[in-house]
Each structure stands twice: as C-alpha cells, then as structure tokens.
Amino acid sequence: MTLSASRKALCLLGFSCFITYFIFGQNQKLADSLIMQYNSGAYSGNELIILREISIEETNPNDKLKFSESLIQKASKDSVFEFLQYGFLQKGNALILMGNNVKALEAYLRSLYFANRIDDEIGIGSLMISIADTYANMGNFENSQEYYNKGILSLRKLNDSIKIGTALVNAGDQYFNIGKLDSALIYTEESTIIFDNINFQIGQAYSLGNLGMIYAEKGNDEIAEKNINEAINILEELEDYYAISVYLTYMSDIYFRKNDWTSALSYARRSLELAQKYSLKDQISDANLKLFELHQQKGNFKESIDYLQNYYAYRDSVLNIEAVEEMADLRTNYEVSQKQTEVDLLDQQKKNQQLISLASGIGLLLIIVVAIGLYRKNNFINKAKLLVENEKERSDLLLLNILPEQTAEELKDKGKVQAKRFDSVSVMFTDFKDFTAYSDKLSPEELVDSIDFYYSKFDDIIEKHGLEKIKTVGDSYMCAGGLPFPTNNHPIQMVEAALEIAEFVNESKKVDPDAMTRFDIRIGINTGPVVAGVVGKKKFAYDIWGDTVNIASRMESNSEPGKINISENTYKLIKDKFECEYRGEIEVKNKGIMKMYFITHTKVKTM
C-alpha cells in the first residue's frame, strides 16, 4: 500500500513548521510557568521580554498566536524592532500550525523586514528557511527552493549548528515531498549528525521522525518504525503534539502494511484525538481520511462514511473527487462480491435439501435476503453518489471563485493549466495608507470587517469593468485587465475602475454610519506583457508574473494618498481619454529613472 497524495501533503505541512521548534526549541512546561508569572505580575524586568519568551516556548497554536500578537502590539508603541521581529516570527509559526499559510507568509515577511532593519544575520537566514517552508506548503516549489538555497548558504557562513541543522532537515523534507527520496535522505542524515553532536533533543526527534518517514516511503518498515517510535518518545516529553499527530498516521500506515488492522486503527485514532484537541486542521483531515480507508478496507461501511464526511469538512484540496469515486466503486464491488457468495451458499444448501417444501422455503428466504441486500446496497451506493455529487458541485463553485472560468475548465479537463504569455495587460495595485499602524490598534474582528468593507466593493467594481481580480496580500489589492481573454481597451477599463475605487474610498470617509476605521488609498497602474498561470497543488492560485507586475507595484508605492499614479506605458494608451498631470522623472527602486503621471480628472475628456 503506497501513501496517498493527501498523506504526502500532510507530511509537507508537518515539517514546514519544523523551523518553529528549532529556532529556539519549544518547551510547554516552561511556557506554562512563564504565563503564570505574567498573569500574576510576578516577574521583573521588561514586559516585552517575558512576552517574547512565552510566544517562543508555547506549543498550543491558539495561545501562541495570542501572545505573539500581544508582543507585536506592545512593541509597536515604541517601534522596538527587535521584539517586532520576534513577534511576527512567532505569529507566523502559530499560523502555520493552524494551516493559514498565506497569513503566515505575510507575518514571516514582516519579521524579515525587521530582521534586516537591525542587521540580524542569524534571524535573516532562519526566516528565509521559514519563508521557504511556507512556499513549499503552498505548492510553490520554485520559490521555496530559492529561499532554501539562500537560507542554507547564509546559515553555513554563520556556523550555527542548530540553524544549519534546521535548514537541512527542512530542505530534505522539500525533496521528500517532490519524490526525490535519495536527496531527502542525504540532507536529513546530515542534520541528524549535527543534532547528535550537540545533543539537541528536538532536532534529534524531528530528524529521526523524518528519517522514519523516508524509510517508510522506501518500504523499509522495520527501520521506519524504530526511528518514528524514538521520535514520538522524545516529542511526548516535550509535549509537541502537532508532530506526534503526523507521525502517528505514518505508524498506522506501517501496521496496515503488516496486516495488523487493530494497531493501525489505534494509531490513526490517537492521531485524530490529538489533532482535535489542539485544533490541527490538516491533521484532523488526514486522520479522518486514514480512518475512512481503514474501515473501508475492513468492510465497516457505516463507520467509513462517517469518517469520509468528516474528511470533507476539513479538507483543503479540491482535487479529491476522483479518489472518492474510486473508493465508492471499491465499496460497491466489495458488496456485490459478498452478496454473490451468499447466493452461491444458499443455492448449494437448496440442492442438498431432499424435501420440496423445505427447498421452497429456502428459495423464498433467498429471495428475501437478496432483496434486502440489494436494497441496502442500493441505498449505500445512492448515499455515496449523493456525497460525491454534492462535493463535486462544491468543488466546481470553489474553483470558479478562485480561478477564471476558462482556467477552471482547463484545470478540470486536463488536471493542470498551461502557463500563457499575454503581450498587453494592465495591472493595478492598491494600498491603504498607515494600515500597519491601524492594524496594531484594532481587534482582529474590527480589522477584518474594515478590510472586507473595502474589498467587497472593489470586487464589485472590478467585475463591473470586466477586469480580473488576481489576489490580496494584507492591505494590498491586485487586479489585471486584458486576461484571460485578450482585449484592446483594458487600459481604459482599468483607469475607469481605479477612478471609481478612489471615489468610493473618498466618499466612505464622509459617510460612515457604522463608525468603522476608514483609510486613504494609493493606486498604481502599469501596462505591458505578463505570464499568467496557476500555482500550487493543494490551494490553487491564478497569478501573473513579469516586469510589468513589478513596475505596477512601484507605481503604487510612489503614488500619493487619493491619487492614481500611472506609468509612461499606460499614459500613452489612455492620454486621449483622460486628463493627466506629468510628475516628471522619478527614481524607482531597482528600476532607475521612470516617467510618471497622475490621473487628474474623473470624467472622460470631451473630444
């Protein structure tokens, strides 16, 4: 029995947070002690220091997020960059544990910004590994490999054993998840040697666990079981339940291959219990899938359906429909074969009967049994088909919400999307002024409500003008015109949409019945060639790349609140339709001198 794709994806998530533990080595008992001191006020020294230590040592993701955000809030008041770096780092670590990769990436990048501000070379190298891990979670292996290489190179120069070992084991996991087991083994074995030499317990645990999973994938269950058991023993002492949950599902695989169904079931149940207790979404999903597979193979169809429904409730991927259909077919075939066996046995018994009356009775009984069996089988199949149909409909709607319709259809038909080059596309970025300062002061609910107020309206405006929303990152909103279907008037459509967005934001400050937080906005637009495609295996994202995108971002960052700043490329295409103010030649980071223009009128010129 080989491991399913969802199992491999889980392994990726399990190790991506490896840097969480390695940077400082978590200790829940120490965290509990520090929390008691903090809550009682029985501590001396700087409040930021004890908050930093709690956020580092805490293993529960919800508590880790709470204390890291508290650290960020308090450090922001005096702009203490060192503690802001720690706060955003641990916030990213907590979000990784909670399965929110996008927000985790934002937090890591913020931490990297502050690490650069204070020239923390060790922090910079470690954060590159965290960013690489997160890109790997999102299926962006090109970016993850780039950051792994940078991070490992940086950390080797610093000769920090713990950091180098961390980077090596995470890079090894990257190779593990793309199927390069020999490379994974080389990286992981080197990390094992490093951690053994310095007797670093958490490092030894993860190296052993990783080696166990590599050997399990290679089919060497004896070595795999030995390494994983040693890893679990260490992790139980350290109360690192996230990793234990991952390893337990691998132990379930190993015992299932040994035909020890009872032990396999026990390990899977333990994994699910831990995942539910600590709200580990991905592990909940994977443990439910494993329990479904175990019960389905054993013929416990009622229990298997329950676990399958739970799996759907937590799953992240939208590509599991075919697998479910195959499993439904397996269940159907199994029941048919079982029913045929019953029929054959009854037929044989009937032949052996000497009395016609008894034979008739058995024949009647056979008909009843078959009818009941067929009814139950049909009922079971209908439930499975309904579940599959409902999930397929949900998946189709989800795909259309994430991807352009043409791209979604291509993904469903071919299983992948071919990257395409567009010679002329208009790209717009928006950004809220002083958003970071406000975000530190607002509650999470207020922050989300404020952003949702704007983005919902932006979505309506973009759709109205026939444009394509690409993505949002924090307070940055990105859209494009001229794709996925090439058009000739996308620069004009983009400027019209930008004017409407700017007017909406300005009017919102005047009319605010809900007393919500209101912002000023900067807008930047550029036009030129891009490459567009779909990235990721688990969580799809339609994205665009190229210098055109980078320049559009620079137009936004060089804009002013309430203004729409456009490049020379866009200006040449819209100058006959809109009044513009030439700003002159402006120095742009990494781009040199560029001409820029403000859109000055909200109305089309009379020709």
pLDDT tens sequence across 87-113: 999 999 889 888 788 888 999 999 999
222/346: higher pLDDT = 222
Domains 240-316 and 416-599 belong to one CATH topology: no
Tell me the whole-structure pTM to 2 decimals.
Answer: 0.40
pLDDT computed for residue 294 by the predictor: 87
Q: Which fold has domain 240-316?
A: 1.25.40
Q: Select the CATH number that applies to the domain covering 416-599 from these four: 1.10.10.10, 3.30.70.1230, 3.40.309.10, 3.40.630.30.
A: 3.30.70.1230
pLDDT computed for residue 339 by the predictor: 43
pLDDT computed for residue 407 by the predictor: 52
Q: Nearest CA to 517 among 429, 559, 454, 430?
A: 454
pLDDT computed for residue 344 by the predictor: 45
**Confidence at 524, pLDDT banded by 50, 70, 90:** very high
Separation of alpha carbons 96 and 90, rounded Å: 10
Average pLDDT of the residues in 327-343: 39
Most confident of 154-163, 223-232, 359-368: 223-232
Q: Residue 597 above 90 pLDDT?
A: yes
Per-residue pLDDT tens digits for 139-188:
787 788 788 888 888 888 887 788 888 888 888 887 887 788 888 899 89
387/293: higher pLDDT = 293
**Confidence at 283, pLDDT banded by 50, 70, 90:** confident
pLDDT computed for residue 555 by the predictor: 93
pLDDT computed for residue 18 by the predictor: 39
Cβ count near 230 (within 10 Å): 16
Query: Among 355-359, 473-477, 481-485, 487-491, where is mean pLDDT lowest?
Result: 355-359
Cβ count near 357 (within 10 Å): 8
pLDDT computed for residue 24 by the predictor: 37
Cβ count near 545 (within 10 Å): 13
Q: Are 72 and 105 in contact (CB under 8 A)?
A: no
Average pLDDT of the residues in 32-47: 83
pLDDT computed for residue 386 by the predictor: 61
The ranges assigned to domains in the chain are 5-179, 240-316, 329-402, 416-599
Average pLDDT across the chain, whole number? 77
Most confident of 455-459, 484-488, 493-497: 493-497
pLDDT computed for residue 577 by the predictor: 92
Average pLDDT of the residues in 186-202: 89
CA distances 215 to 165, 196, 203, 456, Å, are 20, 19, 18, 49
pLDDT computed for residue 323 by the predictor: 36
pLDDT computed for residue 310 by the predictor: 77
Per-residue pLDDT tens digits for 248-266:
888 888 888 888 888 889 9
The SS3 of residue 421 is strand
Q: Residue 341 above 50 pLDDT?
A: no
**Confidence at 585, pLDDT banded by 50, 70, 90:** very high
pLDDT computed for residue 490 by the predictor: 94
Backbone φ, ψ for residue 99 (5° rounding): 85, 10
Per-residue pLDDT tens digits for 534-568:
755 555 567 888 889 989 989 998 999 999 999 99
Per-residue pLDDT tens digits for 378-416:
665 565 556 555 555 555 544 445 445 555 555 555 555
DSSP codes joined into one string, 516-557: -----EEEEEEEEEEEEEEE-SSS-EEEEESHHHHHHHHHHH
Q: Say which CATH class 5-179 falls into.
A: mainly alpha
Quote the tokens at residue 63. 């508590």
